[in-house]
Copies of this chain bind each other. A is one copy, B any other.
């Protein structure tokens, strides 16, 4: 008997299975100067006071479904299978966009308007099923006359009921075709004749500039980390704004303080940075539309 308990304990401690209830993890573009975010937490807590409730953040750029999509993907890679994400970035609140719950092959659930926010997790994790939320069941009672706060009345409520086991995934609502609304395509990084052509996709709070060039693609250039350099050219709308020769290193501390570097970030994409400095600010480099990068092996 003791052995059995030890065995069960071993499983619990090492495998981190779920203990019946999943966490609800929120993100939104509601900002942090109103009660909107805490009202969603309150709704979830009122569904089940034992639920674990977390926030990714609520300062997604307003109506930016691409940022919402990237944020969901980054988080899904670390939060455990079974986690219920509730994402409310909804430029079309009150329009015909569908309210859905996506289940991915990784076992994560995503409660969101189907407006592009789900594109990246669907692509990267694979779709198990997409269900439309049946608001005749999965909506807080007494809120039928409110048409503007679906985050409170539908998404948070449904996410919490799913996470706590009040409803099964099947009870969310009817099955849809296993696909989600896609974001406008951005150019994939390409490699041709020893030159990688990509785009700048993000700037984080440290000023590190992210690209759409995976480490896998980059390594086709044949650079050896800590030995080789790369020629970097950054353009904005075709105009060259930055052209330098950067060392390819493992991490910031591999160069002196204030020196720029090229490295593979924690999600295995290539980034530009300055050790203990701000690459974006120093060189006036941003990300998004019109920002492109070329990388070639230095001679």
Residues on A facing B (Cβ under 8 Å): 7-8, 10-16, 18-19, 22-23, 25, 30-39, 41-43, 45-50, 52-57, 59, 62-63, 71, 74-75, 78-80, 83, 91-96, 140-143, 145-149, 152-153, 164-166, 204-206, 250-254, 263-266, 268, 276
Contact = CB atoms under 8 A, between A and B. Distances in A.
B47 A266 contact: no
A50 to B, nearest CB: 6
Q: Is the interface of A mostly helix, strand, loop or mixed?
A: loop
Contact of A152 (B16, B19, B23, B78): B78
Contact of A147 (B79, B164, B204, B263): B263
Given A35-B56, A147-B250, A148-B266, A142 B7 contact: yes
A295 to B, nearest CB: 18
Q: How many copies does the complex hold?
A: 3
A93 B251 contact: yes
A195 B113 CA distance: 38
Given A52-B49, A57-B32, A42 B253 contact: no
A41 B55 CA distance: 9
Contacts of A32: 57, 59, 205
A238 to B, nearest CB: 29
Given A78-B152, A93-B252, A205-B30, A11 B142 contact: yes
A146 B265 CA distance: 7
